[in-house]
Amino acid sequence: MSFLPLPRSAYGLSEWGGFLPPDEPLPRLSDPYFDPWETLAANLPERLTAIDEYRRDVQQMPVLETSSLTGGGEGGVEGSDDIAEVRRAHVVLGMLSMGYVWGGGEKEPAKALPRSLAVPWTCVSRRLGLPPIVTHVDMDLWNWAKIDKDEPFTPENLKCHSHFTGSRSEEWFHLVPCAIEHAGTPLVNKTFDLATHLNQLFPNGPPSTPKPTPDTERITAEYLSCVSTTLTEMTALIRRMREGCDPREFYLKQRPFLAGFGSSEALPDGLVYEGVSTEPLKFNGASAGQSSLVQMFDVLLGVRHRDPFLAKMRQYMPADHRMFLEALEPLGEALRGIVGASGSGSGSGDHTLARRFDECLDKLAAFRSAHMGLVHTYIIQMKREQAAAEHDHDQDHHEAHHAASKAKGTGGTELIPFLKQCKEETTEAKLNHTIPHSHSLPQPHHQQHLRKDGPLLQLASSVRARSAGSLCDSSGSPVVAADTPTCVPAELVHGLAEALPEPDTGDV
């Protein structure tokens, strides 16, 4: 057995951009034969303002044959040396289709997709190993261009080729994740370097109890440093979401176009794809859980999720990215084996690698906390505002307020409980589950605050209330009350606030 036996290109990865394509995505399909699609896509924001006319034009559009698109084999792996055209087709067909279904609002979705979109979209999806639904890769990996080719790969230096609304707020929502994916490039490259080293060290596969050499420990330490640095950069980027994406515009105008078929209340039975299936088909909407980069950290660091949702989301990744995550499993096991064996039996008691490993999990948990803060700002809080506007009576308002806390994402999960569980499972993967000394509970000057009615838990409740459940301020930084006792670490208050049970009011 060898680690990552195929070259990175076979996994749909590039040395330049990691999970991003090796070159900028195409702004338009090159063959004029596909102009009917591209003409609609170029004017989609304007066309969706007259949804009846748009739907009529789509219904009258011919069914175009997709075999002339270059690249892409059945299942998305074979013959995929040049699949830029196929990727662009998936993006444009997806956006035209989501516009057709959701352009009339969530109260008036289309129940069937015409053959002119359903048939080619399904054919293109099969070639990429994707379902015929808009996914994370469509919106965040295959729909961007640099504004200035000589400037860094940052959200402000990127733009989207195609839009639903045409606003910069919409672009920013997708360009921040795009920049996050790009930030993972050094780690992707470093992962192949680690695989090469381990293949040389263990030509017959890793032993059940590996004894790492000093050189292996050095390389592992460098790798964990790269993991840590990458997560720090990703967290800094996700906290930039508020700079350019307006919460109300996202919730009311952008988010509806990312909903699924069968996973949303508006289309509970799914969508009929005319010319493909006479029965409604069900697919989850776009979700951050479809990010191969984020799932890569779970594989490497041994995070096990009890909810099958994230495993299901792999089916919404390109086939070659799925293959990479599967091939990465043995490498993740070997990494954890090396870290666990480091220092054992040496008499030195040196567990530096284990500490670094756990620090990486702490940073992955911090990234998930930042994501949870965005979910609260962009979905939970917006849903509550909408509920408050629609309900005049106190009792109705209370029930709607509580229901907002149970809001589902476009991927179909019950957002806050699911994200909290993901964060808890991240922490559970740590090799050393003890609390760091500076935050440990048994210290005498802390014990007096830990009574059920003590000031520390009251303070934690106050922190939760003041931050409306997100535990983050407007910049995404943790909220800690100004009156926190100086003898109590702020991180301890913050942790207790997160651990408090859900209040009856429905606050998250």
Q: Are 168 and 349 in contact (CB under 8 A)?
A: no
Distance CA 93, CA 88 (A): 8
CA dihedral 426, 428, 432, 437 (to 10 degrees): 80
- List, in order, residues 6 or more apart from 207 with CB less than 8 Å away: none
Distance CA 497, CA 366 (A): 15
Distance CA 485, CA 455 (A): 9
Adjacent-strand bridge partners of 341: none
Q: What SS3 class is residue 131?
A: coil
Q: 302: number of CA atoms within 13 Å, CB side?
A: 17
Distance CA 339, CA 221 (A): 9
- List, in order, residues 6 or more apart from 478 with CB less than 8 Å away: 471, 472, 490, 494
Structure tokens at 469: 């459940």
User: What is the distance of C-alpha 131 from the center of its chain?
Assistant: 17
Is 371 known as a binding-site position?
A: yes
Through-space distance between the first and last CA atoms of the chain, rounded to whole angstroms: 47
Burial 424-448 (b: 16+ CB within 10 A, else e): ebbeebbbeeeeeeeeeeeeeebee
Q: What SS3 class is residue 376?
A: helix
Structure tokens at 326: 């599967």
Q: Give the per-residue SS3 of 11-51.
A: HCCECCCECCCCCCCCCCCCCHHHHHHHHHHHCHHHHHHHH
Q: Give, in order, the Cα–Cα distances in Å from 438 to each of 201, 363, 455.
A: 39, 18, 19
What is the total residue count of the chain?
A: 508
Q: Which residues are annotated as a binding site?
A: 371
Q: Which residues are annotated as a binding site for heme b?
A: 371
